[in-house]
Amino acid sequence: MTHLDAGAGSGAARPPAAGPPAVRGLSAAEVAERVARGQVNDVPVRSSRSPGEIVRANVFTRFNAIIGLLWLVMLFVAPFQDSLFGYVILANTGIGIVQEWRAKKTLDSLAVIGEARPTVRRDGAAAEVATSEIVLDDVIEIGPGDKAVVDGVCVEADGLEIDESLLTGEADPVPKKPGDRVMSGSFVVAGGGAFQATKVGREAYAVQLAEEASRFTLVHSELRSGISTILKYVTWMMIPTAIGLVVSQLVVKQHGFKDSVARTVGGIVPMVPEGLVLLTSVAFAIGVIRLGRRQCLVQELPAIEGLARVDTVCLDKTGTLTEGGMDLTELRPLQGADETYVRKVLGALGEADPRPNASLQAIIDAFPDVEDWRCTQALPFSSARKYSGAAFSEGDGQSSTWLLGAPDVLLDADDPALAETGRLNEQGLRVLLLARTDHGLDDPGAVRGARPTALVVLEQRLRPDAADTLRYFAEEEVRAKVISGDNAVSVGAVAAKLGLNGTVVDARGLPAEREAMARALDEGTVFGRVTPRQKRDMVGALQSRGHTVAMTGDGVNDVLALKDADIGVAMGSGSEASRAVAQIVLMDNSFATLPSVVAEGRRVIGNITRVATLFLVKTVYSVLLALLVVCWQVEYPFLPRHLTMLSTLTIGIPAFFLALAPNRERARPRFVRRVMRYAIPGGVVAAAATFATYLIARHHYTGPGSLEAETSVATLTLFLISMWVLAIVARPWTWWRLTLVVSMAAAFLLVLAVPSLQRFFALKLVGLQLPWIAVGISVVAAAALEALWKWAGRRFPA
């Protein structure tokens, strides 16, 4: 038994494995000729909307068109202060454009960092180039985890196996040999080789796949689809109400045509919840910027929201709980094997693989190359097989064939070496078995009769941030499931070191039937010896039980599960294929970034739910006030300037701060129901109280200036009730939320106290009796609001 320093041994670059002469690729002149002909894979893949699309999306909206038309009318028929709502819309739209532009720059910069750089062979030398620099007939080298970015034909193959499941839906890897077609969008799961590009640019399917994988989008989001549903109903309510208001105000024109038009517009404008969509877009965009600063690339914007709704996160051990590198700590020869000879075998195995995985790289670092051994055949590692192998012609003329892989796969169940392997696994160590076989590597039964020669003990490097991240998920009631292809006992020991305890399950014993598998997944916490197909099935089984599932991973064996999960999270250093299908890529490879993504999603969803209530209360009371005015055939109580001020102080400014505040509340479904259960009673109470105050004022005030006095007490009532709605929405109160509410109240008092502002906003409280009546009605309305919202919370639980 020998203890080894993982850093020992040769670290020099190794020549490629023996094989047929390499294809030299195009010359510089041939590349230039194809570039001149336009035969280049230069199809820009944008991670966000273009500047023009951003401007159009924020400017040319249905509600901007309505408000823009009303603004033009007001510019001609009313004083400047009645046109303020138009300038507010201009400012809001500008903010939306600027924030989305900032989000675009953040996304584009991260997308460039994470962009794949294929290895192209030109003039006999290999070099990395940008995907857009590939030309027709280029020879592109590929290895495990690489994605074919253009269509082509295989020219070299060394145990090359390609997964075409993203294109065909068939998960079984397809062996490739020279002359076989290589489809863009497929990825290598084992072996290596090269292919020659036959279709580039828009002719290659990879263009469509890449654009679909990294498009900046605001669709397929419960939050945004819920807001769209609300706005659709709001539009249908607005049309007949606005028509009735226009007709009634033009008939009741005791105070002149222009004043009637102004009050008509004043009744229509607040029906439009124009800031709600804008604020949602701004909240999402700022979320992208915040996460971008943490080196987190959000390839699909709703992923921020989706991860906030996740209740189960499936973690791949390697690259997530542990770092990519490993250290070889011990070598245990078996059955009297000569340790010096075993070292040579392991060194030769490392030399035989041009693209070693983390385990083999640790062996390469520990053992020197063997110059007098020649590899005659190689079998690359496959996560489905759980082993790799190579056949050698040794320096003395002898030949031998070796396998290196999982002991429980290469050995019979009663082999005594498995007992020792189990004890090592219980310590969280990874153990590989070196075994000699008499069969050929291409024989499906190569493992039969394999003779164990040595145990290679590897220590996995735990991520220093993994324990804290798992603790965060536990506190937030998000269940963590470790799903790994490694030995179950070893994976369980690693999880236990990080504080994740629970039932450890060997996935080879899992039932294939979905319902039975789902029950086993509910009971277990750590699952080992999971095949790539099983990972996908396990995600589907969890989803069948109503769970929202996130899957993390970095290897090619994770791609199918990442694709099917509700949210796929890939590591930036992971395989190109895993990054292509994931919605979120952690560019700094830090598992500790995930809590930030969850928190950002919760902040967006929770806060938009809050501010949506504010906007929709205004819409409800505006529609009801208009209907009451039409039924009573009276002047509309407000001018646009009054409602602009009310909206700014009770909705606009507070909503901006509330939408960007921290919020750890767990995201819940049924957004529309949760918002409307409060918006409807709030709007009804506000409209009823305000109109009652207005009718009382109409009977109390007479003579010149009576309409301004009536409007003033109605404005006071509506402001006080709206402030109470804001105070309820802002709960639980903190110092800054209380400061926000008090500041808005102080601003309104300033308007009432300063003569110039009184004149500007046409607000002047006359006498003491009616203002105190307005305050009394507002107090009663606030009490009614409290009672109704508590009842709504019990009657329509979220």
Please tell me whether residue 783 adopts helix, strand or coil conformation: helix
Q: 132-150 as b/e, with b when 16 or more CB fall inside 10 Å?
A: ebbbbbbbbbbbbbbbbbb
Residue found under tokens 């309305």: 781
Contact 394, 400 (CB under 8 A): yes
Three-class secondary structure of residue 488 per DSSP: helix
Beta strands in 565-686 (DSSP E): 567-571, 584-586
- Compute how many other C-beta atoms are within 10 angstroms of the C-beta atom of residue 69: 11
Answer yes or no: are the C-beta atoms of 374 and 391 closer than 8 Å. Answer: no
Q: Using CA atoms, how far apart are residues 405 and 385, in angstroms rounded to an integer?
A: 9
- Using CA atoms, how far apart are residues 166 and 164, in angstroms rounded to an integer? 6
Rounded CA-CA distance 573/324 in Å is: 9
Check: CB of residue 114 under 8 Å from CB of residue 587: yes
DSSP 8-state code for residue 318 = B
Q: Comparing C-alpha atoms, which of 578, 365, 171, 224 is closest to residue 162?
A: 171
Q: Are strands 549-553 and 312-315 parallel, antiparallel or unpaired?
A: parallel
User: What 3-state DSSP class applies to 300?
Assistant: coil
Tell me if 614 sits within 8 A of 651, measured CB to CB.
yes
In terms of DSSP H, where are the helices of 197-318? Answer: 205-213, 222-251, 257-268, 274-293, 302-308
Do β-strands 187-199 and 430-436 pair in parallel, antiparallel, or remain unpaired?
A: unpaired
Partners of residue 152 on adjacent β-strands: 182, 197
Round to whole Å and give the CA distance between 570 and 559.
9
- The values of phi and psi at residue 792, to 5°, are -65, -40
- At residue 331, the 3 state secondary structure works out as strand
Q: CB within 8 A of 452, min separation 6: which ones?
A: 334, 335, 407, 410, 411, 415, 417, 433, 434, 435
The answer to whether the CB of 192 falls within 8 A of the CB of 159 is yes
Bond into 732 cis (ω within 30):
yes
Secondary structure (H, E, C), 258-274: HHHHHHHHHHHHHHCCH
What are the counts of helices (DSSP H) followed by strands (DSSP E) for the chain? Answer: 28, 22
Residue 415 a catalytic site member: no
11, HSE (Cβ side, Cα atoms, 13 Å)? 3
Locate 120 and state its tokens.
């192209």
Residue 147, SS3 per DSSP: strand
Torsion of CA 521, 525, 528, 532, to 10 degrees: 50
Q: At 3, is the secondary structure helix, strand, or coil? A: strand
Alpha carbon 13 to its chain's center: 38
Q: How far is CA 68 from the centre of its chain?
A: 35
Q: Which of 316, 408, 506, 537 is catalytic?
A: 316
- Enumerate residues 6+ apart whose C-beta is below 8 A from 207: 43, 45, 184, 201
CA 265 – CA 85 distance, rounded (Å) = 11
The catalytic site residues sit at 316
